[in-house]
Structure 1
Amino acid sequence: MTRLPRQLADLARMLTYMLCHRPDEFGLVLAADGFIPVKQVLQALTGEPDWGFVRRHHLDQMAALMQPPAFELAHDQIRCLAPGPARLRRPEATPPALLYAAIPPKAHGRVWEEGLKPPLEQELVLAATRETAMKLGRRRAPEPVIVTVQTQAALRAGIAFQGYGDELFLAPALPREFIQLPPPPPREEKTGPPPKLPAEPTPGSFMLELSQLASKAAKAKRKKKDPAWKATRRAVRKGKGS
């Protein structure tokens, strides 16, 4: 087995626990083949003390150096090969009376009107405690909004929940009548910029404008007189010359 630098060896141990044993502790749900987006893994590591420094190149370096390979990176996905990805789905698990999700504020209005909907081709990830939900929600927004799921009413309506480890439950879309959340803040009406008012004249500017007008009027008056004066002068010159 290849000996890794200490930092990468510690990272390998952390990822082994995260992806092979208890992904539910970190709010991670693996696909059936064990893969999970690298972005989600990095977000989970950022929320853990002393692991915020990890970037994609650390994962690439670790995976390349480990012999035999213990992790597989395929484009934007990663999975654990040894001892193998965790199998935590529990279809028979009965959810508690309340489950929780934490949504970013920008989704507040939509969830208030439409209910909770999972991302395309995925499931809703619900937490058994408010604390876990807030921990997951803060990966997407500093101040997420807590949504409470009334599981018993949803079960009576035929909605199925599936346990995932000890911390999480998975569900399809949840209509509005099965969730509770605070009302969203009123939307701010967009208004245009206020009309521009003419600038107030500064002290002395009015007198300056009057003097400028008087000067222009005097120049115009002189221009009108110039042609007659010149005509008279020309007539005098002609008289002297005759």
Structure 2
Amino acid sequence: MKRNLKKYSKFLSYILRHRPDELGLEMSRSGWVSVPALLEGLAERDGSWSREVLEQVVRENDKQRFEFDDTGHLIRARQGHTVDVDLGYDPTEPPELLYHGTVPKFLDAIVAEGLEPKERHHVHLSHDIKTAMQVGNRRGKPVILVIEAREMWDDGHEFFCTPNDVWLVESVPPEYLRVDSSI
């Protein structure tokens, strides 16, 4: 099971963030789907899913991307959706600096245009350089961007912090970011 956790997590992310309809799931406005309906859809597609497997994927996901509600009957992804959701996070004052990991091929466009969420609802930022490096490392040698988050907040930009410590913002205009050349 250990070697398949990544595969299970990726598929669960795909369903809960982008394509709940692929398993015939009804998603609430706040991103929740029924666990029994999810398990039924998963079992029809791949008989290796069970409640125990689902709980292990949620519990052991390295980035804690998923959460059950208090009853355990609903599940959702904490961020990263392309489907229309309102996760209900309250605006939260950010620390002075936040970070974003990317790769060199995107750097010129980001410096010129800023960070945009593309098909997602928000830009994802990290509270530390180590996490931003891990994010950027997924696509090659990382480049770390430093975001002047407190200045953005003071200028009226709203930030949200998810329960798994991912900072969300609608976009980051170029004047609030710089490349960390110390890495």
In 1, Cα distance between equivalents of 2:156 and 2:67: 35
In 2, Cα distance between equivalents of 1:164 and 1:12: 22
Q: Check conservation: 1:117, 1:124, Cα contact below 8 A.
A: yes
Superposition deviation, residue 159 in structure 1 = 0.9
Q: How does 1:126-205 map to 2 (within 5 A)?
A: 126-141=125-140, 143-181=141-179
Alpha-carbon RMSD across the aligned residues, in angstroms, is 3.9
Gaps of 5+ in 2: 20-41, 55-65, 79-86
Q: Check conservation: 2:93, 2:150, Cα contact below 8 A.
A: no
Deviations 1:91-147 (A, max 9, x none): 243211110001111011111111111112431010001000111111122x11100
Distance 1:87 1:139, change over 3 A: closer
Gaps of 5+ in 1: 1-6, 20-29, 39-58, 72-78, 184-242
Candidates 28, 47, 56, aligned match of 1:64? 47
Matched, 1:85 2:72: no
Rg comparison, structure with higher value: 1
Would you say how many aligned residue pairs link Structure 1 and Structure 2?
Answer: 134
Distance 1:112 1:14, change over 3 A: closer
Q: Provide the residue aligned with 1:100 in structure 2.
A: 99
Q: Check conservation: 1:127, 1:167, Cα contact below 8 A.
A: yes
Larger RCO, structures 1/2 (Cα 8 Å, 6+ apart): 2
1:133 is paired with a residue of what secondary structure? helix
Per the normalisation by structure 1, the TM-score is: 0.45
Q: What one-letter code is carried by the residue in structure 1 that aligns with 2:136? A: G
Q: Check conservation: 1:105, 1:145, Cα contact below 8 A.
A: yes
Distance 1:135 1:121, change over 3 A: closer
